[in-house]
Amino acid sequence: MRYYLYNNDQPTGPFEVSELLQNGLTAESQVCVEDSEEWALATDVPEVAVLLQQPAAPQPVEEMDFMTATKKCFQNFANFEGRARRAEFWWFELAHLIIAMLTCGIGSFVCLIPFYAVAVRRLHDIGKSTMHILVTFIPFVGGFILLYWALQDSQPGENEFGPNPKGL
């Protein structure tokens, strides 16, 4: 059976059922069977409504290696929004350490803002607010608390800071 699709005041088609989603089918779309004159809401046509209930295909997760993480952190050096995976945080920490060692500590200042940006995004990934970064200013124990949080797994699904960067 083939269907016409009515979106944005224009009918298109005919399409096979499997082609409807690729051609802009939404819950607000009107559909019509090829040999019929009657248009109906997509959710009222059982064969079409099933398509709208299927979960979306998962997005591929970006592989995170040393160069990708370092590049991403420097590109987002002042981005304190969103979430960062553990791999992004730890690969950047390794880059931060290498830069500091090669420049006798001076390069550590270059990495300071990107470090705090990725640390805040990492805290967002486990469901902590931006203000939790202030724990790093507690003498002696602040760094260990941040270390503990940085080792935690991502909060599954979407949280108030955005979708899970691991795609889960």
pLDDT tens track of the chain, all 168 residues? Answer: 788 887 767 788 788 887 877 777 777 888 888 888 888 887 888 887 877 776 655 556 678 899 999 999 999 888 999 999 999 999 999 999 999 999 998 888 889 999 999 999 999 999 999 999 999 999 999 999 999 999 999 988 889 998 888 876
pTM greater than 0.75: no
Whether residue 50 contacts residue 40, with contact meaning beta carbons closer than 8 Å, is answered with: no
| CA distances for 146 relative to 15, 38, 84, 97, angstroms | 54, 62, 14, 16
Q: Left, alpha or beta for 162 (phi > 0: left; psi -120 to 50: alpha)?
A: left
The rounded distance, in Å, linking the Cα atoms of 41 and 49 is 9
Give dist(CA 148, CA 143) in Å, integer: 9
Position 142 scores a pLDDT of 94
Amino acid (one-letter) located at 142: G
The residue length of the chain stands at: 168
- The DSSP call for residue 129 is -
Residue 11: its H or E element: strand 10-16
Distance of alpha carbon 146 from alpha carbon 135, whole angstroms: 7
Unique residue bearing structure tokens 């690969």? 91
pLDDT of 89: 94
